């Protein structure tokens, strides 16, 4: 990816894991064609959320983390022929350690 | 489950009870095929909820508790060929002691 | 009911009155087949509601009270072959003294 | 009505006026069969509303008042063979003096 | 209108202008049969709005004012064979001076 | 327009620009018949918005300004055979200087 | 564009990138006819957002920045035969550096 993409607010950019039979970490993805993989890696994380009361908070996931994604939601974007997905950090279900 | 899954915010990971004729604790599950079991065990609990005013609160159910689930909602995730469900703690109906 | 069920937050567990021609207290239930009885007894009450500002308040109905239920809403759960219903206390219409 | 019904929060119990050609007070009700009468009497009023900030306020209509009802909304309940309706006080349009 | 009608909260009672070819003040109403007249007079105004924080504010239109009505909304009520409409003051578009 | 129209709260009255081939200022309006012109002039502006916390703020556009309108929304009103549109100031997209 | 357009509040005016085979910065846009390009340049940015509590904040993107747009939303406006799009700054996904 030649250009640097800086997500705004508490958004994060996710690269979804390929749908192998079994990932290195042992997470078996179902081969159901329509089922989208629910695992991805955080490629970039925005600065954080801003609230009406003036408060801000940092994004709750960090670049490099492996995360569990909700089945629906997530904006698809194509960059340099690669598909990425943009979520808000509050949509992410869990971190896979 | 080889990798550790850390739910984010006030989410919890539930393993649903099998649909036996009668559970050890005497909770009889209806055999209606479409009726999903409403009982499960908390496998992992997130740190808690965060609010716009900066306050936080702990998740209100703990790992190991047996809980009563709402009929609908709950995100299904497959991990190591096992089906788990992710809920927010505020969606859980009751604790079964 | 062999296991103790502790409702979470401001939820309550209701056992609906049978649909007799006339209850002891003189409340006549319509025989309309589809009309669900609107009277029930509070079997268990949760601790109370929690708010984002950190405040909490107690559940506004107590175990043992006879209450008037809204026509729709209420989650059905089967426990030991008995049907119970779970409501939030703010959904309950009135107390029958 | 043999049992006392205590509405919860800012709810009120209404007995709708019959649909006569003309009420004592001169309020002519349209004879349209589907048009429900929009006038009723407050049979019982709950203590009042509760807010997340801990404040409470009293119910804004009192037992015995004659009120103008919105066309839709209102929960129907049968008690001792009589039909009553339960509204929140904020749904009531006006008081008829 | 024999009985006095006191609107609750920030509600107002409106009598819609007849649909003449042209009103005294020069406001030409379209003759389209389905188009409801958008001009009316405030017959009665409630005390004002109440907010959760305990604040109140007065109703922003007064009895006797001629006002411009939104195309939709407004509750129709029949009183003494006359049709009136009940709006919240925040729904009123403008005052015609 | 014989009568003075005073918009309530943060509402404004807009007269839409005719759909010429090209406006004086060079804004070319598409001739698509169903496309409504998106340019208009502020004929009158209300005092401003009121909030539950008691705060008020002035309307953010002024009489005489030329503005860019959203494609949908805006209440149509006929006054003296002229068509006007009523918007809330927060719906206006931009000011054309 | 002959007239100056000043977006209101936290709105921004975007000129979408043409749909070339490959942009200078290497961002390959899919040739799918219905897929709208998701990249654009900020032509003008409003002053910022206003909140009920009286607070304001500046618009979070600046004129001249290249940004990643959500697939849906954005108001289309034609100005001097050129198509522009108006977004709120909170709808913009990321900045392309």
Please name the member of E27, E60, E90 whose beta carbon is closest to the beta carbon of F3: E27
Can you name the CATH fold of B11-96? 10 Kd Chaperonin, Protein Cpn10; Chain O (2.30.33)
Report the range of poorest mean pLDDT among A23-32, B83-92, D1-10, F70-79: A23-32
Q: Which of C85, C91, C95, C93 is nearest to C15 (CA)?
A: C85
pLDDT at B69: 95
Q: Give me the mean pLDDT over the B24-49 stretch.
A: 73
The yes-or-no verdict on residue G94 having pLDDT over 70 is yes
Cα–Cα distance for residue pair A60/A67, rounded to 1 Å? 11
Residue D41 or residue C81, greater confidence: D41
Interchain pair G53, F52: CB under 8 A? no
Q: Give me the mean pLDDT over the C2-18 stretch.
A: 91
Please name the member of F27, F38, F60 whose beta carbon is closest to the beta carbon of G8: F60
Q: Which of E44, E40, E61, E47 is nearest to F8 (CA)?
A: E61
Interchain pair F9, E90: CB under 8 A? yes
Closest-CA distance of chain A to residue G71, Å: 7
Chain segment E50-94, per-residue pLDDT in tens: 999 999 999 999 999 999 999 888 999 987 778 899 999 999 999
Q: Which chains touch A (3 or more CB pairs under 8 A)?
A: B, G
pLDDT at G61: 98
The CATH number assigned to the domain with range G11-19+36-96 reads 2.30.33.40
Q: Which residues of D touch C70 (CB under 8 A)?
A: 75
Cβ neighbours around A33 below 10 Å, total: 7
**Cα-Cα end-to-end distance for chain A:** 26
- Any idea where the domains of chain A sit in the sequence? 11-96
Q: What ipTM was estimated for this complex?
A: 0.83
Chain segment E13-29, per-residue pLDDT in tens: 999 986 555 556 666 55
Interchain pair E94, F46: CB under 8 A? yes
Interchain pair B27, C75: CB under 8 A? no
Interchain pair D97, E6: CB under 8 A? yes
Residue among F50, F61, F68 with most chain G CBs within 10 A, to mutate = F68
Share of chain E above pLDDT 70, in %: 77
Contacts A–G by Cβ distance under 8 A: 65
Q: Which residues of E touch F1 (CB under 8 A)?
A: 26
Q: Give me the mean pLDDT over the A63-92 stretch.
A: 91
Interchain pair G5, F96: CB under 8 A? yes
Chain segment A1-45, per-residue pLDDT in tens: 567 899 999 999 999 986 555 556 666 555 543 345 689 999 999
The yes-or-no verdict on residue D23 having pLDDT over 60 is no
- Binned at pLDDT 50, 70 and 90, residue D96 comes out as very high
pLDDT at B50: 96
Residue A29 or residue B67, greater confidence: B67
Closest-CA distance of chain E to residue D56, Å: 8
pLDDT at G54: 92
Interchain pair A51, B52: CB under 8 A? yes
- Binned at pLDDT 50, 70 and 90, residue D1 comes out as low
DSSP chain B: --S-EEE-TTEEEEEEPP--SB-TTS-BPP--TTPPP-EEEEEEE-SEEE-TTS-EEE-SS-TT-EEEPPSS--EEEEETTEEEEEEEGGG--EEE-
């Amino acid at each position: 990816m030649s250009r640097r993409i800086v997500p705004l607010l508490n958004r994060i950019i996710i690269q979804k894991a390929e749908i192998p039979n079994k990932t290195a970490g042992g997470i078996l993805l179902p081969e159901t064609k329509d089922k989208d993989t629910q695992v991805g890696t955080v490629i970039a994380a925005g600065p954080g959320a801003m609230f009406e009361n003036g408060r801000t908070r940092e994004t709750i996931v960090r670049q490099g983390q492996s995360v569990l994604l909700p089945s629906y939601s997530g904006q698809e974007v194509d960059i340099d022929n690669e598909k990425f997905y943009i979520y808000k950090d509050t949509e992410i279900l869990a971190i896979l350690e």
